Amino acid sequence: MTSAPASAPSPSGRLSALLPDLTPLRSSADFRLLWIQGVVTYFGSFMALIALPLQIKELTGSPLAVGAMGAVELVPLVVFGLYGGALADAVDRRKVILGTEAGLGVLALVLLVNAVLPDPLLWPLYLVAGGVSALSGLQRPALDSLMARIVPHDQLTAAAALNSLRWQVGAISGPAVAGLVVAYAGHATAYSVTVVTFALSVLLCLRLAPAPPARENTKPSLRGIVEGARFAWSRPVLLGTYAVDVVAMFFAFPNTIFPFLADELDAEWSLGLMYASGSVGSLVLGLTSGWTSRVRRHGLFVVFGAAAWGLAIAAAGWFTSVWPVLVCLAIAGAGDMLSGLGRSTIWNQTIPEELRGRLAGIEVLSYSAGPQLGQVRAGAMAGWTGTRSAIWSGGVACVASVALLTAALPKLLTYDSATDEDAVRRRAQREEDAGTPGPASGTPEAQARPYEAETGASGAGRGRIEPESSPSGG
């Protein structure tokens, strides 16, 4: 007697398979805390992100003065991002996160005090912009490198999708509310909201479990940063994730010329929609990201996501009607998120715990330099060939560059979390730490083993000295 054929999935079952995978929120208390903290912080940060350039515009009336914020922010972000990566591998990451959140709250308070002065000053705005960039550079590696420690190995893609979804909600709601607050209640009110959100964020961070370094007696150093760079250079898959992101942003990040595109399309009213469209596309992908948790070939995410970004940007430069342009920008945002999910998962699945902070610092360099240089490229190209040609040619160059990098680094395309040596080693170590006696998971002894087994390094003879106190002063 033959068995009855399996019934087809119900519509509700298919829908639930598309919805975001919430497992990391249920399985990890620290991830829940950081996710809620991120929702609060992003909302307040975007309030200040909108209010600050608007205040500079009001004080100076100069587009150049507003644009100078990018120059003020870039160098601190790169320098402190690299140093923050080394710091995250040397001290308790919880203390780094807590200290930088408190510092960002103090800077928001500076903005508030300046805004309530009878005649607000200009120089504190640039000082705060540089300070925020520096503290963000210090914090980002500690936050990114903490994910692989607090989220189970098989839930890393779901965690990345939830984090991206959280960011997109802030990117859409924060600026929208900020514009209304600044218009009707003033800059001081917007900065007040930012101060309150950082105060709440610090309270949430206080509840995080300690996250000690994987190796004791280390100190942030140039030698340590070089060690992380050498590891990345020796891994074609990692190298490909960084390189694809840089070329995609360099060739196809035309945000700086959106005002000119809106003028050419005779749709000045659409400028805000152009800036928001990418976030909308990312949000849609995030809300239907449940399927990504069942994929093992995350290199395909990186490559196809970046290629989709480039193709969509190229199409946006070809269309002469604003609505197809907005649709293309939304598709580009979805492609960017897909590529980002792949990058984040590969990093968390393959990088040894004791190098994770330094590699996250290199990530800061890649994601900050690409868009900044891309805006310079787009502006210069638009002045030379015209706005729309600058956009579509950049998209085409993005696709061609991604194809060349894929050919040069084929292991990125064939990456499989079930067979990649680094991913298998990291997964086995996580399972061993969780299920066998010996050093407890999360201790320096337990976290240091994967890289030592691979390189033969035990830390002896490396000339290390006692660590300095953490930036939070704890």
Give pLDDT tens digits for 144-193: 888 878 888 788 888 888 888 887 777 777 767 777 787 788 889 999 99
**Lowest-pLDDT range, 199-203, 351-355, 411-415, 440-444?**
440-444
DSSP single-letter state for residue 19: S
> Which residue in 150, 432, 427, 161 sits closest to 294, CA to CA?
161
pLDDT at 71: 74
DSSP single-letter state for residue 212: -
Task: Give the residue-averaged pLDDT of 464-472.
Answer: 27
Task: Give the residue-averaged pLDDT of 4-23.
Answer: 62
> Which residue in 313, 363, 360, 367 sits closest to 335, CA to CA?
313
Task: Give the residue-averaged pLDDT of 204-232.
Answer: 81
> Which residue in 94, 84, 151, 164 sits closest to 363, CA to CA?
84
Band of pLDDT at residue 299, cut at 50, 70 and 90: very high
> Is residue 468 scored above 70 in pLDDT?
no
pLDDT at 67: 65
**62 and 127 in contact (C-beta within 8 Å)?**
no
Q: Which residue has the higher pLDDT, 277 or 106?
A: 106
Task: Give the residue-averaged pLDDT of 80-100.
Answer: 89
Exposed e or buried b for every residue in 233-262, given b needs 16+ CB within 10 A? Answer: eebebbbbbbbbbbbbbbbbbbebbbebbb
Task: Give the residue-averaged pLDDT of 453-461.
Answer: 30
Q: Is 13 exposed, middle or buried (0-12, 13-18, 19+ CB in 10 A)?
A: exposed
Question: Cα angle vertex 246, ends 241, 252, to 5°?
Answer: 120
**Lowest-pLDDT range, 96-110, 299-313, 454-468?**
454-468
> Is residue 473 scored above 50 in pLDDT?
no
Tally of CB atoms within 10 A around 359: 25
Query: How many Å is the Cα radius of gyration of the chain?
Result: 23
* CA 356 to chain CA mean position, Å: 15
pLDDT at 457: 29
pLDDT at 127: 95
d(CA 77, CA 17): 38
> Is residue 271 scored above 80 in pLDDT?
no
Task: Give the residue-averaged pLDDT of 428-455.
Answer: 46
pLDDT at 149: 84
Task: Give the residue-averaged pLDDT of 252-275.
Answer: 83
**Lowest-pLDDT range, 27-41, 58-72, 414-428?**
58-72
List for the chain the helix, strand, coil content (%; round to 5). 80, 0, 20
pLDDT at 433: 66
pLDDT at 220: 74
> Is residue 417 scored above 90 in pLDDT?
no
pLDDT at 104: 95
pLDDT at 102: 95
**99 and 239 in contact (C-beta within 8 Å)?**
no
pLDDT in tens, 304-332: 999 999 999 999 999 999 999 999 999 99
Let me know how long the chain is.
474
pLDDT at 388: 92
d(CA 31, CA 254): 34
d(CA 413, CA 65): 43
> Is residue 13 scored above 80 in pLDDT?
no
Q: Which DSSP string corresponds to 46-69? A: HHHHHHHHHHHHHHH--HHHHHHH
pLDDT at 63: 60
d(CA 300, CA 406): 10
Q: Which residues are CB-contacts of 201 (< 8 A; sequence separation ≥ 6)? A: 37, 40, 41, 44, 101, 105
pLDDT in tens, 345-402: 898 888 887 787 888 888 877 777 788 778 778 888 888 888 899 999 999 999 999 9
Q: Which residue has the higher pLDDT, 129 or 467?
A: 129
> Which residue in 434, 456, 433 sits closest to 446, CA to CA?
433
pLDDT at 15: 56
pLDDT at 139: 92
Q: Which residue has the higher pLDDT, 80 or 454?
A: 80
d(CA 472, CA 469): 8
Band of pLDDT at residue 64, cut at 50, 70 and 90: low
pLDDT at 452: 32
Average pLDDT of the chain to the nearest whole number: 81
Whole-prediction pTM: 0.68
**426 and 359 in contact (C-beta within 8 Å)?**
no
385: tokens are: 């060939």
pLDDT at 439: 38
Tally of CB atoms within 10 A around 218: 21
